[in-house]
Chain A
């Protein structure tokens, strides 16, 4: 037996926005999301969502450095650095800019002794992971799975 009123429930307003885009645009939006947080959403017309994602992830990235965290790069024999590098890489272009400028990778003297050091690392790692989620979200929007 159907519950009362279930057939009258209106469709979400977003249903009308779900429409797949071309494969080229899907690829462009997905790659753009990975290069810069929120850029893929902006390319797909979700400007507010893109700006919110960019702002949150950018603030998290900056705060990570402010809290004395550092970025990782792979080191032979240190298998955890591969995992952490993968997480950091999620932030996209800013990681490579830091790499080219050699900023944020080296530990200064007593940096690890600061109590916010691990918080900073966590902020930097999670910023990258959140951007992977944002990239998957942009892909889902582009192929028409989400609005």
Chain B
């Protein structure tokens, strides 16, 4: 287990639940697209935050 794998697993599981609960996406292809978008957003924003925080001495 690495930090990145933890990020991927977390993003995937949350994206699946968000897609299942979405009220604006009514059929399966729409939900899958939304889930992929949520997953990508989590991963990219997580990497961006990590990149910004990396130089900080914390």
Contact = CB atoms under 8 A, between A and B. Distances in A.
B35 to A, nearest CB: 10
Interface string B3-16: 10010011001101
Given A56-B17, A134-B21, A123 B10 contact: yes
B13 A56 contact: yes
B17 A133 contact: yes
Q: How large is the interface on A (under 10, 10 to 19, 20 to 34, 35 or more residues)?
A: 20 to 34
Contacts of B26: 12-14, 147
Contacts, number: 46
A78 B29 CA distance: 46
B33 to A, nearest CB: 15
Contacts of A134: 17, 21
Nearest to B7: A119
Given A63-B9, A67-B6, A126 B23 contact: no
Nearest to A120: B6
Contacts of A56: 13, 16-17, 20
Nearest to B6: A119
A146 B23 contact: yes
Contact of A116 (B6, B20, B27): B6
A116 B1 contact: yes
Interface of B: 1, 3, 6, 9-10, 13-14, 16-17, 20-21, 23, 26-27
Interface of A: 12-14, 49, 52-53, 56-57, 59-60, 63, 67, 115-116, 119, 122-123, 126, 130, 133-134, 137, 140, 146-147
Q: Which 3 A-B pairs have the closest CB atoms?
A: A12-B26, A14-B26, A119-B6
21 contacts: A12-B27, A13-B27, A14-B26, A52-B20, A53-B17, A56-B13, A56-B17, A56-B20, A59-B13, A60-B10, A60-B13, A67-B6, A115-B3, A116-B1, A116-B6, A119-B10, A122-B10, A134-B17, A137-B23, A140-B23, A146-B23
